[in-house]
Structure 1
Amino acid sequence: MSAAVTTAPQDSAGFWKTRYTMLLLNTLGLAISYATRVNISVAIVDMVNGTALREREAAEGTQLVRDPDSCPGELVLEGPGGRKEGEFVWDMYMQGEILAGFYYGYTVGHIPGGVLADRFGGKVVLLFGILVSSILTVLTPLSAWAGYYVLFTNRVLQGLAQGGIIPAIQTTVCTWAPDHERSLFSIIFLGICVGTLVSMAVTGILCETIGGWPLSFYFFGGVGLLWCVPWFFQAADSPSQHPSIDPAERNYIKATIQSAAKNGIISAIPHITGGAGNLIFVWFTGFLLRKGRVSKTCTFRIINGLGTLVPAAALVVVALMGCDSTVIIVMLALSGFFIATDCTGSYLNMQAIAPNYAGTIVGIVNMFANLTGIAIPYIVGAFTNTNPTRSAWNAVFYLSSAVAAVSYLIYAVFTTADEQPWNVPPSERAQKATANEGIENTAFDKGVTPMADGDRTQKGRWKANVP
């Protein structure tokens, strides 16, 4: 009697698979969620009336000039090309609260989002998150005109709606990605970088059009609403629920996928702690800079060290502890918390060295970040595709930790917080020999007061009045 021969499952014919459509829609959905999240950080520059704010609060001496192309009586901030004033008189605290409002809701939204994704599937949770946040994005200009508290509430609700997006995506990946294609499906998280970059670039362009800053919210909110249409008709919680998937592909995924150990709630943990970490590290960075007990350069070294070395150490602990799920969850939470320093460490550092070219510098840095995001799935696949064992994943963790440690060492040695001489063109520097160089960088010039000429720094900037 011959033994039964087990044949390997056969995938559907053709290059494009239904699961690739799911991958693409998830990537675009994540990109849209980040685009609607961050566009206000660019648009708020055009929303705020800096002149009225300085007149009200006697702020620190930004020069005002008349723009020959502006309406009669209109004042604009001095700077490359000039910029028209906005219509809202929000001080720095109010602006900070508006930007932070999203994270208040986002932090709270993860746990219910994870529970709902596990109970009802990722399709409806992701649809709800992007649909609601897109509608609120379209309503952002109306909310701003209605008042500061209405806009703040809008941002909180956006964060609350988006809290379930990451858990929903993780749940979807667990039901659609064959085990040997998990590294491929991690491409979804490129949507974070793509959405952020596109949002910052396009928002800046739209703010300069005749539609002004409201157009940026209408645009990205509209894109999000359009995304909901193909997601509603083409997405499904699992291959078995998809109405038009090739039966061969459905059977192939079913045969090559195993029950995942992680679920929506566990996947949400780094983002829950990350939202809390974002708020805490914003305060902590400001505290260090305000008190002046350490230099700006040392402040950035401390913040970026926490955001790089602590997650690297957490990966080593995960590798060493093996199957202890409690420790792994704690390490995930710890990593998410400290990775949140990215928003206050590296970005502020880039703004400090060249405020006139901060956008260009961020674009260059994020370009290289995107390149690593493209390479990572292939590197991970090289370790795990043919050998999906714990030892193979441990090798990935150790390599990641080593890269993080070396990267931070290079950063710590070569970083600076000093404004670079190329920040201001030579011709402009000559014209402003007796004035502040470049544009006002309010993030780092808190407490600056005019002093006698003999008290100027070597670069011609006013000394900071540090308590």
Structure 2
Amino acid sequence: MQAETEEESDTSPMLGSAMERRELLRPTKVPVCCSARYNLAVLALFGFLILYALRVNLSVALVNMVKPNSSMSENASASVCPAHSTSPQKPHNITGKQYSWDADTQGWILGSFFYGYIITQIPGGFLASRIGGKLLLGFGVLGTAIFTLLTPLAADLGVGYLLAVRALEGLGEGVTFPAMHAMWSSWAPPMERSRLLSLSYAGAQLGTVVSLPLSGLICYYMDWAYVFYIFGALGIVWFVFWCWLVSDTPETHRTISPSEQDYILSSLRNQLTSEKSVPCGALIKSMPLWAIIVAHFSYNWTFYTLLTLLPTYMKDILQFDAQENGFLSALPYFGCWLCMILTGQLADYMRERFNISTVVVRKTFNSIGMIGPAVFLVAAGYTGCNYVLAVTFLTISTTLGGFCMSGYNINHLDIAPSYAGILLGITNTFATIPGMVGPVIAKSLTHDNTVEEWQLVFYIAAAIDLFGAFFFVVFGSGVVQVWAMKGFNSHRL
């Protein structure tokens, strides 16, 4: 098999000559402001903001949906830290309907999303490569929004209906990331990939930042059902703008300038292949792809564990009240969002101005984004009842994870731009497993809610992060692989 370790010292492996590189770097002719590609990134940012708001709002609403006497009583050992705030009373008697769901049922409700989400990852990437990502992503968001609007009705009909609705939400949302990757394979010039993709996907972190405290406020001042009505309606509004303003490719965009269209197409001239068949044998043997899979799995283990259980840690260990919990749980994701935006700019700047190779940038940023969180996550477990230090370490840990956006997360487009949607579907399928089993394992390890139990949870997440960082450093690549190039015959493997 021909080596997949081509000359990786090239700053931009897709450029075959100095002339092509000079053609690529034409900032005066392709302004960023009001450009079609950055308009796409901003619309995608709002789309993923809404998607993650639709995903995480149930975690907040569920607290208000369950009758207090149906929840598992807390173990006395959970009160390891003294309460340092007094929960305010609601301004008036707002409760909404409540249900007698035990802890196991609540766990199934929270996890049912991922059972739908994991199914459509690979099919989503495959369909995006065939029919384009615009409508697939758009209808994925629309479907998720519609089923979110039906959530209060489903809860009233019975827990089985609610499980089905959440799984269907996962099915719709599962196609969105592969579809967006497929679109960026046609829209993102190689030297702008980090900043364009980090801008668009940062919406996921921003959605968490917005949804956690806002859902809490909606539940506090209104009825929990409005959490689903408000975010669901916003999803439908976004769908209208997406269909109106976005095109699958630069060639089909109605208002793109000729200079921008030429800039994008010329920069991708030697990257994309018209080959429709997927080289499955080459994918299975590709260690750079396996490097992304392992890194994606490892990062998501920590991400989903904290996304699901950080409010619990804030409440049971650090003893924050409900309103403080919502805002402080969102703080780490605000840091991650900001980090993703800034490091996306920095990664492309390093490649363009300092001639640093793509593979060095990807491995460096990925290592910072996985080793840094591991260190501060372990440190957070040893802060005791020092609330300021605990929140600071957890925030730094999640913030540093933003470096990974310019590491493994964009790497699909580096090694196989024509198959980027399919590759993301593959890696995200593996990376969804931590969302299904990670919080379950963490819950089983924190039965008594002691500091020592939470330290073990943090140890496990940190160890998985370190392994993912090491694997990517050893096997990651920054060049277009042979099996993803023009003229490659998939039957050779």
Short-chain TM bin:
0.5 to 0.7
Go from structure 1 to structure 2 and tell me whether the alpha carbon gap of 1:226 and 1:21 turns closer, same or farther (over 3 Å shift): same
- Counterpart of 2:155? 144
Taking the TM superposition and a 5 Å limit, the aligned residue runs for 1:153-168 are 153-168=164-179
- 2:203 and 2:337 in contact (8 A); partners too: no
Cα distance between partner residues in 1 of 2:61 and 2:243: 30
> Are 1:193 and 2:205 an aligned pair?
yes
User: 1:250-302, CA deviations, whole angstroms, 9 ceiling, x for partnerless residues?
Assistant: 12211122455799x9xxxxxxxxxxxxxxxxxxxxxxxxxxxxxxxxxxxxx
> Are 1:28 and 2:35 an aligned pair?
no
> Are 1:80 and 2:87 an aligned pair?
yes
Higher RCO (CA-CA < 8 Å; seq separation 6+): 2
User: 1:222-271, CA deviations, whole angstroms, 9 ceiling, x for partnerless residues?
Assistant: 000000111111111101011222222212211122455799x9xxxxxx
| Length, aligned pairs only | 348
Cα distance between partner residues in 2 of 1:366 and 1:13: 30
User: 1:17-44, CA deviations, whole angstroms, 9 ceiling, x for partnerless residues?
Assistant: 1112111111111111111111111111
- Counterpart of 1:217? 228
Cα distance between partner residues in 2 of 1:79 and 1:146: 36
Go from structure 1 to structure 2 and tell me whether the alpha carbon gap of 1:349 and 1:49 turns closer, same or farther (over 3 Å shift): closer
> Are 1:227 and 2:238 an aligned pair?
yes
Cα deviation for residue 12 of structure 1 reads: 5.1
Cα deviation for residue 203 of structure 1 reads: 0.9
Go from structure 1 to structure 2 and tell me whether the alpha carbon gap of 1:388 and 1:189 turns closer, same or farther (over 3 Å shift): farther
- Counterpart of 2:397? none
- Counterpart of 1:354? 318
- Counterpart of 1:364? 331
Q: 1:416 is matched by which residue type in structure 2?
A: Y
Go from structure 1 to structure 2 and tell me whether the alpha carbon gap of 1:388 and 1:395 turns closer, same or farther (over 3 Å shift): same
Superposition RMSD in Å? 3.5
- Counterpart of 2:184? 173
- 1:383 and 1:393 in contact (8 A); partners too: no
Q: 1:203 is matched by which residue type in structure 2?
A: S
Determine what percentage of the aligned residue pairs are the same residue: 28
Q: Which runs of 5+ in 1 are unaligned?
A: 63-77, 266-322, 424-441, 449-456, 458-467
Cα distance between partner residues in 1 of 2:241 and 2:42: 11
- Counterpart of 2:294? 334
Cα deviation for residue 344 of structure 1 reads: 2.1
TM-score by length of 2: 0.63
> Are 1:239 and 2:250 an aligned pair?
yes
Go from structure 1 to structure 2 and tell me whether the alpha carbon gap of 1:189 and 1:14 turns closer, same or farther (over 3 Å shift): closer
- 2:48 and 2:201 in contact (8 A); partners too: yes
User: 1:71-125, CA deviations, whole angstroms, 9 ceiling, x for partnerless residues?
Assistant: xxxxxxx971257655111111111111101100101110111111111001011
Cα distance between partner residues in 1 of 2:30 and 2:368: 40
Taking the TM superposition and a 5 Å limit, the aligned residue runs for 1:13-24 are 15-24=33-42
Cα distance between partner residues in 2 of 1:91 and 1:118: 43
Taking the TM superposition and a 5 Å limit, the aligned residue runs for 1:48-447 are 48-51=66-69, 53=70, 59=73, 80-82=87-89, 86-186=97-197, 187-210=199-222, 212-258=223-269, 260=271, 326-342=286-302, 343-345=304-306, 347=310, 349-356=313-320, 357-386=324-353, 391-402=357-368, 404-413=370-379, 415-416=381-382, 418-420=384-386, 446=447
Q: SS where residue 29 of structure 1 aligns?
A: helix
User: 1:127-167, CA deviations, whole angstroms, 9 ceiling, x for partnerless residues?
Assistant: 11001111101111111111100010000001011111001
Q: SS where residue 355 of structure 1 aligns?
A: coil
Cα distance between partner residues in 2 of 1:103 and 1:12: 40
Cα distance between partner residues in 2 of 1:350 and 1:209: 22
Go from structure 1 to structure 2 and tell me whether the alpha carbon gap of 1:60 and 1:15 turns closer, same or farther (over 3 Å shift): closer
